[in-house]
Copies of this chain bind each other. A is one copy, B any other.
């Protein structure tokens, strides 16, 4: 069972805590918050995240990995403590400034660390699949439609990321604001005689928990380094492709003998 410490306990953090607690592969050992508030809905120790005290806390409450849903500043508070203790990190913060990203990559020299602003499996798959189709069919028209609740202020970061990855102009993003829609992203590929639609619907923010669990589990079999959820998915696919090649080779071998048989004089 992989022991996890959770940093951050806002709306996303609370949702993730619930998912990790329910997953038999993980033991949620503690929660660290920037505020001193120790009231949580779940029964694990809670501490205040400070640079001075965090090393001690880790020694007294050892974990294999840390999941960070707090804010862009936290990594600088706990970074050196986890580096010294070789603890895996999954951070899902979206607003890191460049210097923080540099620091995170630097941590990747000593520990296994993954950073992804949207850590849901579905969105990261969508990004990857859209990229593949774009590469196969560069001539297809592409439109990105995102639908969110009425008060969401601006174009979703995920939609902008999809546009960037597909190298399409921001004009091809449509943002609709409608009632209480949690979050829908659709990428439409228009071919002359067919259409492909890739659609992701968010149901609840607990989806971040599933993504964090996937990330931690994958990291545990990775070498030291800096990762993104994209890159982990690519690795899964790369492994898959090698299997395919082995299968193809095996098929080819069996074909050789069967074809040979076909060719033998009867």
Residues of A participating in the B interface, judged by any CB pair closer than 8 Å: 102, 105-106, 109, 120-122, 125-126, 128-129, 131-133, 135-137, 140-141, 143, 145, 147, 150, 174, 176-182, 188-207, 209-210, 214, 231, 233-234, 236-238, 240-241, 244, 248, 255, 258-259, 262-263
Taking a contact as CB atoms under 8 Å apart, the answer to whether B196 and A188 are in contact is no
Contacts of A189 in B (CB 8 A): 122, 178-179
Q: A195: nearest residue on chain B (CB-CB)?
A: B201
Taking a contact as CB atoms under 8 Å apart, the answer to whether A136 and B236 are in contact is yes
Taking a contact as CB atoms under 8 Å apart, the answer to whether B197 and A199 are in contact is yes
Q: A132: nearest residue on chain B (CB-CB)?
A: B237
Tell me the smallest distance from the CB of A91 to a CB of chain B, in Å. Answer: 17
Given A135-B236, A236-B136, A244-B234: A178 and B201 within 8 A (CB)? no
From B143, B195, B206, B238, contact of A203 by CB (8 A): B195
Taking a contact as CB atoms under 8 Å apart, the answer to whether B140 and A259 are in contact is no
Tell me the smallest distance from the CB of A244 to a CB of chain B, in Å. Answer: 6
14 more contacts with CB within 8 A, not counting A126-B196, A136-B233, A191-B207, are A102-B262, A121-B194, A125-B136, A135-B237, A136-B236, A143-B176, A174-B174, A178-B189, A179-B195, A179-B203, A192-B210, A196-B201, A197-B201, A234-B244
Tell me the smallest distance from the CB of A57 to a CB of chain B, in Å. Answer: 27
Counted per complex, copies of this chain come to 4
Q: 27 pairs across A/B with beta carbons < 8 Å?
A: A102-B262, A122-B194, A125-B132, A125-B136, A125-B137, A128-B132, A131-B240, A132-B233, A136-B214, A136-B233, A141-B150, A141-B178, A143-B178, A145-B145, A150-B190, A178-B189, A178-B190, A179-B203, A180-B190, A180-B192, A180-B204, A193-B204, A193-B205, A193-B207, A196-B201, A197-B198, A199-B199
Contacts of A263 in B (CB 8 A): 106
How many Å lie between the Cα of A240 and that of B203 in the bound state? 32
From B135, B188, B205, B244, contact of A178 by CB (8 A): B188
